[in-house]
Structure 1
């Protein structure tokens, strides 16, 4: 394309769909079952991160010590609970459905890049496919399919290779700090729409309050802005 935007890579929880609340509800329920109460500040630190990190944050916040086996069991419980909550409905984030549809209509390559494990991501993908009449992503990369998870650049770089595009021709759409960090570290321009935690300004990052009203032309501007900014760490 003349504008050189080749692909748009979307995060899932909190970016495309309102499922971060389910993760929070499950974490709070787990904390209660362990005899404590997870603080909102600790919950915010788990947004967009791996289950292992989330369990470590919860453990520290409650001031308890869990064995590795117990932490793994806690993580499985949270994932199972989130799957149950997803069964009650998976609403779109404002403007996400329209932007995703516009990106596909423009003929751009698309990817879903999420820290969520495949078994839960497939539940969301099924809901999206039912709404849009098919899965709108050329590539999907889940948290249990990568050598390193966000904020490492590996998930977004893996998606770019699978799509057959250069990172410099990609725009990432993210809501969390770890996701934004991952996209920028991969050498991609990032559109950040923070929902549950603050994301500070950074070179290559465009911040918006919502995806409502953002069209493909706006993503082209995000890419241009990212290219005019110095790469992180260089």
Structure 2
């Protein structure tokens, strides 16, 4: 969800910076970028090391509340994301939203979009990304073989989770630099991904859709 489908990463960064500074610490944009795709427990531990004197649940509540309030004004779709989700739905392709974000953010987003068959939030699995459990859970709930799925990810931990599940993977270069392993398709934008591309990827092709320059 975050970064891949919707451009919420700037909201997360702002919330993290504000929270750390409120506790007398320093948190830079580079620090925030390094947390992209991380489980909340990992992010909370990093913030605590910078002086945030709150428990993990309190940190999660503070960040989720701040980002939720920012997104409430409207869904900040990434280029091509809404069109791709709608095209898949129109073609009858089952879709799962697999995110490290907690259900308090993922559920309202999925409800507003109305096109996902399954939602696997970060606080609904025992072992979040980069463990394969989130994607294996999604495949099981969809009733499909993970090897016949395509996962779209924009972070190191998300890509690792999807690859380990056995899914075919498309890595999208958005907020954070990614260096996907061999066999992972790469793109600079979901605007360059359509049903034909997805069919080729699930059939076993590895593509590089990044535009020159």
TM-score by length of structure 1 reads: 0.82
Residue 144 in structure 1 maps to residue 123 in structure 2: yes
> Would you say the 8 A contact 2:7–2:76 is kept in 1?
yes
> Would you say the 8 A contact 1:86–1:123 is kept in 2?
no
> Would you say the 8 A contact 2:106–2:119 is kept in 1?
no
Separation of aligned partners in 1, 2:36 and 2:171 = 14
Output the aligned Cα RMSD: 1.9
Separation of aligned partners in 1, 2:56 and 2:118 = 31
Separation of aligned partners in 2, 1:127 and 1:19 = 15
Structure 1: gaps of 5 or more residues: 1-11, 129-134, 228-234
- Counterpart of 1:81? 66
2:59 is paired with a residue whose SS is: helix
Residue 48 in structure 1 maps to residue 37 in structure 2: yes
Count of aligned pairs: 207
> Would you say the 8 A contact 1:174–1:180 is kept in 2?
yes
- Counterpart of 2:104? 119
Shift of 1:122: 2.1
Separation of aligned partners in 2, 1:37 and 1:89 = 30
Q: Which of residues 22, 32, 36 in structure 2 aligns to 1:33? A: 22
Residue 179 in structure 1 maps to residue 173 in structure 2: no
Separation of aligned partners in 2, 1:24 and 1:163 = 32
Structure 2: gaps of 5 or more residues: 207-213
Separation of aligned partners in 2, 1:59 and 1:45 = 15
Shift of 1:46: 1.0
Per-residue displacement from partner, 1:13-60 (whole Å, max 9, x unpaired)?
111111122111110110110112202222112111122211222233
- Counterpart of 1:211? 190
TM-score by length of structure 2 reads: 0.90
Residue 156 in structure 1 maps to residue 141 in structure 2: no
172 and 123 in structure 1: CA distance in 2 versus 1, 3 angstrom threshold:
same
- Counterpart of 2:88? 103
Separation of aligned partners in 2, 1:165 and 1:18 = 29
> Would you say the 8 A contact 1:190–1:226 is kept in 2?
no
Extract structure 1 runs of 4+ deviating beyond 6 A: none
- Counterpart of 2:78? 93
